[in-house]
């Protein structure tokens, strides 16, 4: 074995099974890498020592019993949850162990990782660049080999976008596929927990472990469960792949566009049938999202009053305060109809866009982020510019449909992600197609070399 930390979860399980490696060796390798790189990358906020089980990382908005959970906020400094999130309970049956809690934008609010109260996470491909967000630490930990896989949460792109910017796989399941119990809520009608992994097969396996109803989240469902493995296929024949023109318009970086278009050609080579489609309401997605999401945020953040847990409300960061105020405004008397209800109606139109598109195709492909990773600090003074960077990920969130981001090339040495969106609860199809593409390319094998100088 060369570097144990390069192994995917699936490969690790096999190596352990065949006794090619020991759990102790595995843990030592990851621990050593964390010791070396975490001071530079700031991916982990808390590290758990241990030598058994397969180590995985957990975004710090997911509560872990007895392990500090801050959600990247000063307001939760020192908070020790008295309970586990459902996903943590579920993973505890699979010989895994939590190796650490990963850095993130405060309460998952951000697209760059810079809104953490504990300092930004750095992109392992280029330390001057943002890793994306809000699951910044989780994406970086997977990309830099600091864990076998990580859990993230996605509300408007927070799994897919950092996965794209860091060159790893990120899956946002359908809304309701995974119980949200124990995920510190940002926007409850949009939040989903999902895996960030080194391969598509890993994402499938982890989803099969964490999916399904738990009795605690009314929205979590148990039907059409995803299998942990599928028969391997090497072509996409008979698959109709929709390409929405709205995802290739103004604002899309040429380097990203060319990588994504090459990926689409590759899918055609593999037998896929490419179909031009239109999602006309795409341009309204960000506006819709920035009404609905802050509304829920303003209410979800109300429990932080410093009485039962946490510190005082002046410890909220700037972005959190901003969203609380926007949400308070759009829900307040006299504005509810014009903003909140209006946005809820446009949400219906966006959902219908997808439903109509899926009458013509099996999956939809496009870019994840309009650009590759940008410079640290570049968008911090301009919240709206930051919000607009989520233009391709927010629509799937509003519609509640599943979506995966996987590596599809590079632009100026920075990773580019391909997004594959599926019908509601049809993770099966996007995972199958993503795996065929992945296995026909080498992108997922590329690892960053962190500049230690």
Partner 1 sequence: MKRYEPIIGLEIHVELKTLSKMFCGCSADYFGQKPNSLTCPVCLGLPGAVPFTNAQAIQDCIKIGLALNCQIAENSRFERKNYFYPDLPKGYQISQYRWPLCTNGYVDIEDSQNQKIRIRINRVHQEEDTGKLSHLDGITAIDFNRSGVPLVEIVSEPDFREVEQVRIYAKKIQQIFRYLEVSEADMEKGNMRLEANISLREAGESKLPEYRVELKNINSFKFMGDAIEYEIKRQQELLEKGEKITQHTRGWNENKKETFVQREKEEAHDYRYFPDPDLLPLKIEKLEEIRKSLPELPEQILKRLQSMYGLSYYQSQLIVSERFLVDFFEDAVSLGEENKISAVDVANFLINKNVDINKVSPEEVISQITFKKSGIISDTSALREVVKEIIKENPQAVADYKSGKIAVIGVLVGAVMRKTESKADAKIVKELISELLS
Partner 2 sequence: MFNKEDIKKLAKLANLPIKESEYEKFASQLSEIISYVKQLERIDSNQVEPTFNVTGLKNINWGDKVEPSLTQKKSLQNAKMQRNGFFVTKGIFNE
With CB under 5 to 8 Å by kind, the binding choice for 291 among partner 1, partner 2, none is: partner 2
Interacting residue with partner 1 among 247, 340, 374, 443 (CB under 8 A): 340
Interacting residue with partner 2 among 306, 336, 375, 413 (CB under 8 A): 306
Q: Which stretch binds partner 1 (CB under 8 A): 63-71, 90-98, 366-374, 433-441?
A: 63-71
Of the pair 25, 213, the CB lying nearest partner 1 is at 213
Q: Does 118 bind partner 2 (CB under 8 A)?
A: no
**DSSP string computed for 217-243:** -TT---SSPPPS--------TT-EEEE
Q: Which stretch binds partner 2 (CB under 8 A): 135-143, 264-272, 325-333, 357-365?
A: 325-333
Of the pair 106, 428, the CB lying nearest partner 1 is at 106
User: What totals of helices (H) and strands (E) does the chain contain, helices first?
Assistant: 13, 11
| Cα distances (angstroms) measured from residue 386 to each of 114, 179, 303 | 11, 29, 27
266: how many CB neighbours lie within 10 A of its CB?
17
Q: Does 189 bind partner 1 (CB under 8 A)?
A: yes
Nearest to 406 by CA among 426, 436, 376: 436
Q: Closest separation between CB of residue 312 and partner 2, Å?
A: 8
Q: Does 317 bind partner 1 (CB under 8 A)?
A: no
Rg for the chain, CA atoms, rounded: 20
| Cα distances (angstroms) measured from residue 368 to each of 133, 247, 431, 441 | 12, 9, 16, 18
Q: Which stretch binds partner 2 (CB under 8 A): 20-28, 49-57, 321-329, 372-380?
A: 321-329
Residue 450 corresponds to which tokens in the numbers above?
């962190």
Q: Closest separation between CB of residue 139 and partner 1, Å?
A: 21
Interacting residue with partner 2 among 18, 231, 308, 442 (CB under 8 A): 308
Q: Does 336 bind partner 2 (CB under 8 A)?
A: no
Question: Residues with catalytic annotation?
Answer: 59, 134, 158
Q: Does 170 bind partner 2 (CB under 8 A)?
A: no
Interacting residue with partner 1 among 34, 108, 142, 184 (CB under 8 A): 184
Q: For strand 54-59 and strand 96-102, is the pairing parallel, antiparallel, or unpaired?
A: parallel
Q: Does 424 bind partner 2 (CB under 8 A)?
A: yes
Distance from C-alpha of 385 to C-alpha of 383, rounded to nearest angstrom: 6
Q: Does 83 bind partner 1 (CB under 8 A)?
A: yes
Distance from C-alpha of 223 to C-alpha of 51, rounded to nearest angstrom: 36
Of the pair 56, 304, the CB lying nearest partner 2 is at 304
Interacting residue with partner 2 among 40, 48, 274, 287 (CB under 8 A): 287
Interacting residue with partner 1 among 134, 161, 298, 405 (CB under 8 A): 298
Tokens 């890498």 belong to 33
Distance from C-alpha of 62 to C-alpha of 56, rounded to nearest angstrom: 13
Q: At 4, is the secondary structure helix, strand, or coil?
A: helix
Interacting residue with partner 2 among 39, 307, 334, 453 (CB under 8 A): 307
Sign for the CA dihedral angle at 176, 178, 179, 182 comes to negative
Of the pair 328, 441, the CB lying nearest partner 2 is at 328
Q: Does 258 bind partner 2 (CB under 8 A)?
A: no
Nearest to 222 by CA among 235, 240, 208: 208
Distance of CA 349 to the CA centre of its chain: 24
How many CA atoms, within 13 angstroms, populate the side-chain half-sphere of residue 227? Answer: 7
Kindly give, in sequence order, each residue whose CB lies less than 8 Å from that of residue 194, ignoring residues fewer than 6 positions away.
Answer: 151, 152, 153, 154, 159, 170, 171, 172, 173, 178, 203, 207
Q: Does 62 bind partner 1 (CB under 8 A)?
A: yes
Chain residues that interact with partner 2, rule: CB under 8 A: 78-80, 82-83, 175-176, 189, 215, 218-219, 221, 281, 284, 286-288, 290-291, 298, 302, 305-314, 316, 321-322, 324-326, 328-330, 332, 339, 341-349, 351, 383-384, 387, 398-400, 424
Chain residues that interact with partner 1, rule: CB under 8 A: 61-63, 69, 71, 76, 79, 81-83, 85, 179-185, 187-189, 215-219, 295-296, 298-299, 301-305, 307-309, 328, 331-333, 336, 340
């Amino acid at each position: 074995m060369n570097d144990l930390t390069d192994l995917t979860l699936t490969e690790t399980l096999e190596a352990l099974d065949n006794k090619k490696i020991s759990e102790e060796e595995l843990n030592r390798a990851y621990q050593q890498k964390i010791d070396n790189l975490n001071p530079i990358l700031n991916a982990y906020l808390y590290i758990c020592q241990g030598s058994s089980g397969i180590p995985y990382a957990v975004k710090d908005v997911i509560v872990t019993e007895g392990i500090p959970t801050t959600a990247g906020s000063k307001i939760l400094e020192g908070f020790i949850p008295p309970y586990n999130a459902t996903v943590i309970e579920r993973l505890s049956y699979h010989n895994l162990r939590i190796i650490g809690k990963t850095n993130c934008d405060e309460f998952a609010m951000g697209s760059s990782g810079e809104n953490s109260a504990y300092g930004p996470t750095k992109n392992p491909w280029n330390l001057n660049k943002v890793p994306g967000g809000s699951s910044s630490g989780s994406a970086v930990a997977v990309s830099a080999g600091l864990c076998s896989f990580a859990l993230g949460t996605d509300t408007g792109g927070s799994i897919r976008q950092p996965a794209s910017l860091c060159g790893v796989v990120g899956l946002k399941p359908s809304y309701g596929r995974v119980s949200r119990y124990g995920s510190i809520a940002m926007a409850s009608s949009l939040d989903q927990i999902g895996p960030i992994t080194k391969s598509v097969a890993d994402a499938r396996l982890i989803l099969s472990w964490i999916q399904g109803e738990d009795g605690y989240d009314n929205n979590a469902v148990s039907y059409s469960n995803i299998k942990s493995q599928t028969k391997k296929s090497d072509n996409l024949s008979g698959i109709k792949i929709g390409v929405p023109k709205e995802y290739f318009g103004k604002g899309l970086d040429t380097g990203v566009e060319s990588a994504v278009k090459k990926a689409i050609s590759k899918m055609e080579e593999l037998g896929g049938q490419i179909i031009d489609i239109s999602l006309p309401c795409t341009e309204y997605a960000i506006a819709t999202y920035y009404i609905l999401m802050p509304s829920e945020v303003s209410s979800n953040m109300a429990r932080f009053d410093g009485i039962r847990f946490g510190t005082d409300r002046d410890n909220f960061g700037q972005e959190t305060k901003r969203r609380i105020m926007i949400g308070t405004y759009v829900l307040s008397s006299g504005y509810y109809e014009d903003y909140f209800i209006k946005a809820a109606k446009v949400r219906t139109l966006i959902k219908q866009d997808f439903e109509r598109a899926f009458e013509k195709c099996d999956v939809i492909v496009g870019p994840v982020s309009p650009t590759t990773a940008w410079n640290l600090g570049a968008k911090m003074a301009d919240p709206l510019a930051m919000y607009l960077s989520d233009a391709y990920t927010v629509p799937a969130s509003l519609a509640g449909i599943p979506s995966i981001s996987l590596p599809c090339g590079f632009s100026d040495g920075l990773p580019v992600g391909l997004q594959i969106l599926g019908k509601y609860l049809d993770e099966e199809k996007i995972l199958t197609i993503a795996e065929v593409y992945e296995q026909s390319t080498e992108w997922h094998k590329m690892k960053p070399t962190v500049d230690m100088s």
